[in-house]
Chain A
Amino acid sequence: MSTVQDSVTQPAAVAAPSKKSMTVGTTATLVLLALLVLTPLFVKNFIIFQMTMVLIYAIAILALNILTGGSGQFSLGQSAFYAVGAYTAGIMMEHMGVNYALTLPAAGIICFIFGFLFGFPALRLSGVYLALATFALAVAMPQLLKLGAFEHWTGGVQGLVITKPDAPFGLKMSQDMWLYYFTLFVSAVIYILAINLLRSRSGRALMAIRDNPIAASAMGVDLPMYKTLAFGISAAFTGIAGALGAIVVQFVAPDSFTIQLAIAIFLGMVVGGVGWLPGSLVGSAFIVFVPNVAEHISKGLSGAVFGVLLFVVIFLVPHGARQVAYMIEALFRKKSKS
């Protein structure tokens, strides 16, 4: 029965923190937000593009965090939901001429339905079986996308090329920079939604399920309902990330959504700390920048570097960035006391 609850021994960061840590946390948040808003003004377009990707993966990791950290189910198949979101955006923009901003809610809704439906069979599975079913989903997804029957819409193996949107209202801003701020806005909205969700009644129900499903159902929590709902919400956010990813990369193809992507998202969650939402950003920066550095040393090395670092994390700081954050916070507290 041991699901992730063992890994979430420390009180979740979303549960009311002490007053002191609030100030440390708030300061950190404000500094980070200022950095996120100001940095693009001083760097090159390519770095802006990478920062955009960090934000996008952060949304995907956040989505997995809601599922795993919130309800204790875990998924190795997030790349499948990401793919559905990306294709929704691609097809709507290229075949239907829909505005890019409108594809995000559409991707969210479609992925919600998709995730909710997948959540039904997943209901009867726990722990390792769920990992297996979602793993299978991730492996099978590129094949499904290559299907001849949908080729007219999906472009088959070749995929779809998407036109990059310009900045609106005649703003004098490069496309990359505009998309960065657009993504930043969307991620901020999703982050706030996620925090409020986990603090709400439903969020508490999810955590009750994670910590003790039997006690939760005895208390009247509708287990199947909340578990599938968690899957749906997680899939919806992942789908929005996928749609944003498609718009920013300007390209969707089946082979961009392999098991490697699912592994990267999972890895980002572990590195950031399960159930700790701010960790999503740390994990995401990790999965975007580490492969770059590794590829720089030798082509094809990134997988090995990922793997080794993942072992380092689970051996040394099993709670990921969250553990580091707690250590730093404890340090601050000690200083202010003495």
Chain B
Amino acid sequence: MELFTNQVLAGIATGAIYACMALAIVMIYQAIDHLNFAQGEMAMFSTFIAWQLMQWGLGFWPAFVLTLAISFAGGIVIERALFKPLTNAPILAQVAGFIALFAILNSVAGLTWDFTIKQFPSPFGSSGFLGSQLISTHQAGMIGVTLVLLILLFVFFRYTRIGLAMRAAASLPESARLVGINTSWMIALGWGMASAIGAIAGMLIAPVVFLEPNMMGGILLYGFAAAVLGGLTSPLGAVIGGFLVGVFENLVGTYIPGVGNELKLPIALALIIVVLVIKPSGLLGRAIVQRV
């Protein structure tokens, strides 16, 4: 029983990271109806920026805040410079754009900071949480940060004018434009926020998986699985999906013999396909009905 609780709690902790990635994916999907395949690499790049700032002598939290600001600005710049001109391009060109961004970020990070594995400090420490053996403070911290983030996003979208404007721009762009919302900037804002959320995920997971240019490959896949499971159109669904995927992955790895660490990525693959086949709109997503 202790093993079970342990695994569930550990699953919830990694699930928090998947939830962050899924949130970032959903943010961009909401804004432009596309999956950002470069999301993981963007998060990785932000994490490297945080690492660099700390190498230059900044403390964790100042570096954290500064990285969020840089990532936010970076997300907006990427949207303005690269993806805005592609708004009306065919879907294939857009996917190619994401792939290109993926390759550029991965390669530039490797060139700048090389491919050796780096330690990334945890702001929470790694001792047991409140003296218990079940969960470490870092894991508890990951869960806490994700929940705070979710509440902030909820408040932002529910109670602020700009949050409302973003929702309007995402669901009915034409009507939103008619009432004077600058939909194009709302999309850029979505990119900026997604980039910052991704940065949080990167900085939280880096102490666990270590910092290197390919660190987000698997995590992005879990982020996709979480987003698909929760429903690509629902931020809350993304978070729930993230926690579920984390727990599911841990339990399957522990209790089904022969799975272990090797099969973890294929589990995400299987999960994505099963969910897409059984319920493409996910747990909380809107079903898309197309009129023909």
Instruction: Point out residues on A near B: beta carbons under 8 Å.
Output: 1-7, 68, 74, 76, 121, 124-125, 127-129, 131-133, 135-137, 139-140, 143-144, 146-149, 214, 259, 263, 266-267, 270, 274, 298, 300-308, 310-311, 313-315, 318
Contact = CB atoms under 8 A, between A and B. Distances in A.
Contacts of A128: 33-35, 91, 95
Contact of A304 (B90, B104, B115): B104
A68 B96 CA distance: 13
A259 B99 CA distance: 10
B90 A139 contact: no
B103 A307 contact: yes
Contacts of A133: 272-273, 276
A143 B107 contact: no
Contacts of A139: 217-218, 220-221, 265, 269
Given A6-B90, A132-B224, A270-B96, A307 B276 contact: no
- Pairs A-B, 9 closest by C-beta atoms: A303-B107, A307-B104, A310-B100, A6-B90, A307-B103, A304-B107, A7-B90, A307-B100, A140-B269
Given A131-B35, A307-B104, A267 B96 contact: yes
Contact of B262 (A143, A274, A310): A143
A304 B110 CA distance: 10
A263 B103 contact: yes
26 contacts: A2-B90, A2-B91, A3-B92, A7-B90, A68-B92, A76-B95, A129-B280, A131-B37, A136-B224, A139-B218, A140-B265, A140-B266, A140-B268, A146-B262, A148-B258, A214-B292, A259-B217, A270-B92, A274-B92, A301-B111, A303-B104, A304-B107, A307-B103, A307-B107, A310-B96, A314-B97
B16 interface: no
A36 to B, nearest CB: 28
Contacts of B221: 136, 139-140
Interface string B16-55: 0000000000000000011101000000000000000000
A204 B110 CA distance: 45
Contacts of A274: 92
A188 B164 CA distance: 58
B108 interface: yes
Given A127-B91, A136-B269, A143-B265, A149 B258 contact: yes
Nearest to A298: B111
Given A124-B280, A147-B262, 5 more contacts: A2-B90, A74-B92, A127-B91, A132-B35, A133-B273
Interface in B212-246: 217-218, 220-221, 224-225, 228
A143 B270 CA distance: 13
A307 to B, nearest CB: 3
Chain B interface, DSSP helix/strand/loop, else mixed: helix
B101 interface: yes
Interface stretch (B64-72, B81-89, B136-144, B198-206): B81-89
Contacts of B115: 300
A137 to B, nearest CB: 6
B195 interface: no
Q: Name the interface size band of chain B.
A: 35 or more
Given A6-B90, A128-B91, A300 B276 contact: no
B264 interface: yes
Nearest to B271: A136
B110 A300 contact: yes
B254 to A, nearest CB: 17
A308 B101 CA distance: 8
B185 interface: no
Contacts of B82: 311
B183 interface: no
A129 B220 CA distance: 15
B102 interface: yes
Given A124-B280, A303-B110, A3 B91 contact: yes
Contacts of B225: 136
A121 B103 contact: no
A303 B85 CA distance: 22
Given A307-B103, A308-B100, A315 B85 contact: yes
B266 A306 contact: no
B92 A136 contact: no
Given A128-B35, A304-B107, A310-B103, A143 B266 contact: yes
Contacts of A307: 99-104, 107
Among B89, B99, B218, the one with the most A-chain Cβ atoms within 10 Å of its Cβ is B99
A313 B96 CA distance: 10
B277 interface: yes
A147 B263 contact: yes
Contact of A314 (B86, B104, B220): B86
A5 B93 CA distance: 12
B250 interface: no
Contact of A131 (B95, B103, B107, B111): B95
